[in-house]
Structure 1
Amino acid sequence: MISSIEEGQREVKDRLISLVCFVFGANEHWIKTGKGTMFDTPKNERLERIIYHFNNLDENSQDFVLQHLDLLIKYREKEGIK
């Protein structure tokens, strides 16, 4: 079935698309149109803010942030903090 779909000999049914989306958390709109994000993920504004600011730092500053994040994680593990 998959090779037939890949070769254009068989049409992908909505039922199959829905199943793929359910199992893998894929975005149905993206599968059908190629627009939007590949996966349906809840928006995490804190994470988006961190990524935005991190990407705007120079390489040395990014290394500094990562080193301190590693230290924080090690401290929390040592203290048994989740």
Structure 2
Amino acid sequence: MDYKELSINERVNYLRKHEFDMTMEDFGQHIQMTKGAISYMEKGNRVVSERTIKIICAEFNVNEHWLRTGEGEIFIQPATFSFDEQIKKSNLSELEIAIMRGYMELDSEVRKAIVQKIESIIQQRSEIASTTDEDEIDAELERYRQELEAEKKVQTLSALQRRETS
């Protein structure tokens, strides 16, 4: 597809429908616009503002040059992982940032040992949860069986008493 032949409005529509697979409402929530405003914009009845261009590019990592002209790659391909960018995106607290920085400063063998310990804890908890679930089910079944047996005894006694009184 030659994106240069599309207007910027059509490129916004293309992104929403084909790249993001979003409804106008969902897309609008991301770029702070109403469904109606997006509809007008995509149809070309409304100019795509500078603010909207900046928000789309920042929110979805879209190449601004592509959005404006249809030339180049649709998305910006980050060359490297940026911890600072992730901090901004994740809205981490100061404590969380300190923990992450401290973890990354550890020797690789220490990090490997930490990961193995966490995996071990997760596996143990999973096994405990599985066993606990089975035990709880067995206990519930036993209680239900006892209730049924008690009801059966009451019914039997009631039937015997009716026979005796008749």
Question: Which interval holds the TM-score relative to the shorter structure?
Answer: 0.3 to 0.5
Q: TM-score, normalised by structure 2?
A: 0.28
More helix by share: 2
**Bigger Rg, structure 1 or 2:** 2
Q: TM-score, normalised by structure 1?
A: 0.47
